[in-house]
Amino acid sequence: MIISLSNGLHRVARSVAMCAVAGMFITVMIQVVARYVFSSPPIWTEDVARYMMVWTGLLGTTLSFKGRSDAVLMKSVFPPRPALMGLVSEAIRSAAVLSFILPVIWFSFMGLRGGLAKGYLARQAGLTADTLGIAMVWIAVVVPIAMIIILVHLAAQWAEGRLEEPDTTDAVAGLD
């Protein structure tokens, strides 16, 4: 079940990231044409492009993590699972990932002294993007979303029992 959830989240994240890249490209092109052809760029295009870049970057991070194309510590030093050192290296990697994403998820919802009203998302809900007039929470919500997706991908990697990099030699050999 966790593997299916991970695969589904991966498909959705990829689709949203592709839409964000397209949106970023379109708004930048509108800004370039409006600036250099009409000498009057809309004020909102820069902010929309920036927010789309944030969404693209964070969702792209989840895609890299799922595809094991992220920076992997100790990848070439230890053998892959199920060897003991492979398990140890993957446990260290998982601990490093968890030590980063769990506090991010926690403080997205909870404040330093507890309480939902002081969490990152609650603070962002009280702010408004000046040029767009929308609550900043709609831009900031991607932070905990990305971290939760990575957490699901990590659980799926352990559930698969195959944490090493996928073997693509057969696929590449078939192209010859």
Q: Is the pLDDT of residue 84 over 90?
A: no
The pTM (predicted TM-score) of the whole model is 0.78
Residue among 24, 79, 27, 32 nearest 57 (CA)? 24
**Rg of the chain taking only CA atoms, in angstroms:** 20
Q: Is the pLDDT of residue 125 over 70?
A: yes
Q: Is the pLDDT of residue 151 over 80?
A: yes
pLDDT of residue 168: 47
Q: Please answer whether residues 17 and 55 qualify as being in contact, where contact means their C-beta atoms are separated by less than 8 angstroms.
A: yes
pLDDT of residue 119: 86
List, as own/partner pairs, every contact residues 89-94 make where C-beta atoms lie below 8 angstroms and the sequence separation is at least 24, other chains included.
90/158, 90/163, 94/154, 94/158
Q: Which residue has the higher pLDDT, 135 or 117?
A: 135
Question: 């040029």: which residue's tokens?
Answer: 131
How far apart, in whole angstroms, are the C-alpha atoms of residue 16 and residue 166? 25
pLDDT of residue 90: 81
Say which residues have a Cβ less than 8 Å from residue 40's Cβ, sequence separation at least 6.
34
